[in-house]
Amino acid sequence: MNPEDSMNDVYLESSKSRFSFHRTEDKKHKGTICCGHNTCHLDRYNLISSVKPFTARPYTLYKIVLTTADVPGAGTSAQIYITLKGEWGSSTRQKLKKERVSTRNSRFYLHPGSSNTFSVVSPDLGGLHSVFVEHDSMRKTDSWLLESVQVFHPLTKKRYMFMCNHWFSLYKEDGLIARELFGIRSAKTKYSIVTVTGDQEGSGTNSKVYITIYGRTGITPRIELSQENKSTGKDILCAPFGRGTSTKFIVKAPNVGAITNIRIKQDESGNEPHWFLERVVVTDMSYPQWTYYFHLSCWLSSKYGDGKSCRLIRGYREPTGTGIETEYKLTFYTSDQKDAGTTGEVYVKLYGEKDSSREIWVNSIQQTNRGQSTSYHFTRGSTVEVYLPPCPQLGEITKLKVGHNGAGSSPSWFLNKVIVDDLRMNRVFEFPCYAWIAKPSEAIIMCQKSIKKEEKEIIWQKIPFEIRLYTGDVPNAGTTARVCLQLSGPEQITNSKPPYSNYQVANTTVQKGFDMKLDHIDQKTTFENKEDVYTTPYIWLEDGNYERNGVALFSIDLPVPKFISPLSQLVIGHDNTGHSPSWFLDKIQIYCPLNGVEQTFLYRKWLANNKPGMKVEQILYEEKSLRKYTDKKIPWEISVKTSPIANNYVTAAVSVIIFGSKDKTTKIHLNRSNLEVSSEWTKVPRNEMVEMFKPNVESKFRIYIKDIGIPCKLRVAHDNKGSNPNWHLQEVTS
């Protein structure tokens, strides 16, 4: 056999291919045909070989902070469930349980305005995109208004904010009890926080202080205001919240946008656990013009004030801290067609050029400021007026969302229109609807027109009063204190507070302690808030005869925006000063010549505070059986001008008598008591009383006389006394 032929043996080739480790031929893979496709096993091999090794995700403990809105009825006792969703998947649906429960019987409850912390264990989800929140209650009392959800990743130190501001309820808003919330991305910023502690005894604290900043786009975590983040006086070892101190802190926190509120708390951990906080000023240092003022002026203490050591304070851009608030009155006009009324509960939301309100449920409004509890029913053909609580001014109202919860046997509602009345800014906005509000159970209606209401011009007038205060005839009945009086009228009881300015009366003069223009603004505001009754400022009656069995007589011209006689009540008191301040007051008589009414207010008791049950201030009501009526008197103005001749001024007492078509007056003395000084209400020095009739000077007097008809003659005279009785008179006009 040829050796070369032996190398080509078929059997040898077969054995070589089966047992050799070195294959010289690069043959294509021929898989066994098992499924009708010649390459199915090859495809599976290639697919498996391309898969990366799987790495198990570690479990992570997420911290969840739920913030419930600080609105009455916003809390819930329902069980809350949450699902986290991130870039690597979703967590399981988990029930939230409070971390700290004091007793076994403690009930799960989320209080209005509270922030509660929970823990959730889940595989690491990476960056969070959204959270799914739900609760399991179908009861109306478990309606829950969730403000925000914060999720904290303890390993990466990342905090995710999910804003909500929606109800979880079958009875409110859109009837949902489950919502998916999406996160808000916000950059870090620095905030300058200035705290001002009051300057009174015991007002400072050395407890730990925490602050949370609320904004339009988020909420910061709770921040401790400590020595480490103090900006001023770091090297000085002093209490940052000491009495009368102002301390600045610089803190890093997420940017929350326009700041709306802050929550500040002290934990009463120090040996000085009571803190009187005047105000807080917060500035976003990225935008220094964004400064917000939070005025408090009350105690953060469990012992003093109202016993609260945590406060939610509303902020304003104005340094005064008053902001621009208004009151809205809403008038709903329901159609008069068949079944036009609704049995559902109605809610509204106002949209303005500056801001928008939250959804306001009309049936939940308590009209406490108007002394009534109202139940609203939107029946067929009805007109319902609703006064909203004071809220920030929204500017021009552009649209209105109105709806109902679809409850009751006939929830569908045919609404004709809604009128929104801005009571402070005197503007009226009309929103026509003229459509059914059924499903969906809400409608967005646009403003058709706005009207600027004509402001009522309040004409201030001076009303004369003669006041007599009778001191009792008992031992030590007189007083050395300063006596004050406050009048309210007409004929109605009022609890309105007086304006800040006071009038001071010395014998027959009314003085003012503040600028006239500013005082008119304060008084106008007080009057508009109480349309029926006006309460004067405190009137200080000085230099009166308050001796035993004495009578103090005062004639005052009181500026008021309306006629207040007959009076409904008065307040009498004193400042408890001097060596013998206790005063036994017998009675007070007040006479108004314009309507001829004389009122008597009996007391016959002590005004003192040195014995139990006694006070230095009392409210008195008229003894109507002692009321007297006399002839009404008419106010007149007389102008007397002295001739422009040298040394021509009179020191004698001048008097006039006016003759009319019906009668004549008695002798009227033109003295300082009836001098008309309406253009300048300032105290007149007494040494100017002798210079009343100067050369070429016109002196005006206001007198009150009975009805004498048309005046036809005037008699003027003086008593020819004094150092210069000669007088050259130019003219008298009235």
pLDDT digits (tens, 9 = 90+) for 87-146: 888 999 999 887 554 444 456 788 887 888 899 999 888 888 899 999 988 888 889 999
**In the numeric block, which tokens belong to residue 233?**
């006086």
Cβ partners under 8 Å of residue 233, min gap 6? 247
Residues 63 and 206 in one domain: no
Number of neighbouring beta carbons within 10 Å of residue 670: 22
Rounded to an integer, what distance in angstroms lies between the CA atom of residue 718 and that of residue 554?
Answer: 25
Rounded to an integer, what distance in angstroms lies between the CA atom of residue 567 and that of residue 621?
Answer: 9
Residues 545 and 433 in one domain: no
Rounded to an integer, what distance in angstroms lies between the CA atom of residue 401 and that of residue 416?
Answer: 14
Rounded to an integer, what distance in angstroms lies between the CA atom of residue 669 and that of residue 626?
Answer: 30
Domain ranges, residue 718: 634-733
Residue 367 has a pLDDT of: 55
**Residue that finishes a domain, picked among 402, 423, 452:** 452
Residue 37 resides in a domain:
no
Cβ partners under 8 Å of residue 53, min gap 6? none
Least confident of 14-23, 567-576, 606-615: 14-23
Q: Pick the closest to residue 260 from 309, 190, 222, 313 (CA basis).
A: 313
Q: What are phi and psi of 526, to 5 degrees?
A: -65, -40
Residues 340 and 237 in one domain: no
**Residue that finishes a domain, picked among 149, 182, 215:** 182
Residue 46 resides in a domain:
no
Residue 725 has a pLDDT of: 79
Q: What is the CATH number of the domain that holds 723?
A: 2.60.60.20
Summarised one tens digit per residue, pLDDT across range 332-387 is 999 888 888 998 888 898 888 767 777 788 877 765 444 445 678 888 888 898 88
Residue 14 has a pLDDT of: 53
**Could you give the C-alpha distances from 549 to 474, 570, 580, 615, 666, in angstroms and in order?**
8, 22, 16, 21, 31
310: Cα within 13 Å, side-chain hemisphere? 11
pLDDT band at 324 (very low <50, low <70, confident <90, very high): low
| Secondary structure of 556-616 in HEC code, one letter for each residue | EEEEECCCCCCCCEEEEEECCCCCCCCEEEEEEEEEECCCCEEEEEEEEEEECCCCCCCCC
Out of 292-306, 461-475, 703-717, the most confident range is 461-475
Q: What domain count does the chain have?
A: 5
Residues 585 and 715 in one domain: no
- Pairwise pLDDT comparison (157 vs 8), residue with the higher score: 157
Residues 443 and 543 in one domain: no
Residue 67 has a pLDDT of: 86
Residue 479 has a pLDDT of: 92
Query: CB-based burial of residue 6 (10 Å sphere; 0-12 exposed, 13-18 middle, 19+ buried)?
Result: exposed
Residue 29 has a pLDDT of: 46
720: Cα within 13 Å, side-chain hemisphere? 0
Residue 212 resides in a domain:
yes
| Residue listed under structure tokens 């990743």 | 153
Residue 29 resides in a domain:
no
**Could you give the C-alpha distances from 346 to 164, 190, 359, 377, 444, in angstroms and in order?**
21, 42, 10, 9, 14
pLDDT band at 320 (very low <50, low <70, confident <90, very high): low
Residue 81 has a pLDDT of: 94
Residues 585 and 491 in one domain: yes
Residue 168 resides in a domain:
yes
Residue 72 has a pLDDT of: 75
Residue 587 has a pLDDT of: 95
Average pLDDT estimate for 610-632: 86
**Could you give the C-alpha distances from 6 to 3, 14, 23, 393, in angstroms and in order?**
5, 13, 20, 109
Residue 191 has a pLDDT of: 93
Residue 712 resides in a domain:
yes
Out of 16-30, 112-126, 451-465, the most confident range is 112-126
Q: Could you tell me the pTM of the whole model?
A: 0.38
**Residue that finishes a domain, picked among 284, 314, 344:** 314
**Could you give the C-alpha distances from 236 to 240, 250, 309, in angstroms and in order?**
10, 17, 27
Residue 223 resides in a domain:
yes
Average pLDDT estimate for 673-697: 52
- Pairwise pLDDT comparison (268 vs 472), residue with the higher score: 472
Residues 207 and 278 in one domain: yes
Residue 519 has a pLDDT of: 33
Rounded to an integer, what distance in angstroms lies between the CA atom of residue 352 and that of residue 443?
Answer: 17
Residues 716 and 621 in one domain: no
Cβ partners under 8 Å of residue 418, min gap 6? 330, 331, 332, 333, 348, 400, 402, 430, 431, 433, 445
The answer to whether residue 56 scores a pLDDT higher than 70 is no
Q: Pick the closest to residue 652 from 565, 603, 719 (CA basis).
A: 719
Q: Pick the closest to residue 575 from 485, 455, 454, 672 (CA basis).
A: 485
| Residue listed under structure tokens 């008695």 | 666
Coil vs helix vs strand at 690: helix
Residues 544 and 441 in one domain: no
- Pairwise pLDDT comparison (491 vs 466), residue with the higher score: 466
Residues 622 and 473 in one domain: yes
**In the numeric block, which tokens belong to residue 506?**
């010395």
Q: How many residues in the chain?
A: 734
User: Any bridge partners for residue 84, and if so which?
Assistant: 131
Out of 30-34, 247-251, 264-268, 666-670, the most confident range is 247-251
Task: Please say whether the dihedral angle defined by the alpha carbons of residues 715, 720, 723 and 725, taken in this order, is positive or negative.
Answer: positive
User: Any bridge partners for residue 402, and if so which?
Assistant: 348, 443
Residue 84 has a pLDDT of: 93
Cβ partners under 8 Å of residue 159, min gap 6? 150, 151, 152, 153, 221, 254
Residue 9 resides in a domain:
no
Residues 621 and 639 in one domain: no
Residues 568 and 587 in one domain: yes
Q: Helices (H), strands (E): how many in the chain?
A: 4, 46
Summarised one tens digit per residue, pLDDT across range 546-594 is 999 999 988 887 888 888 889 999 999 988 888 889 999 999 999 998 8
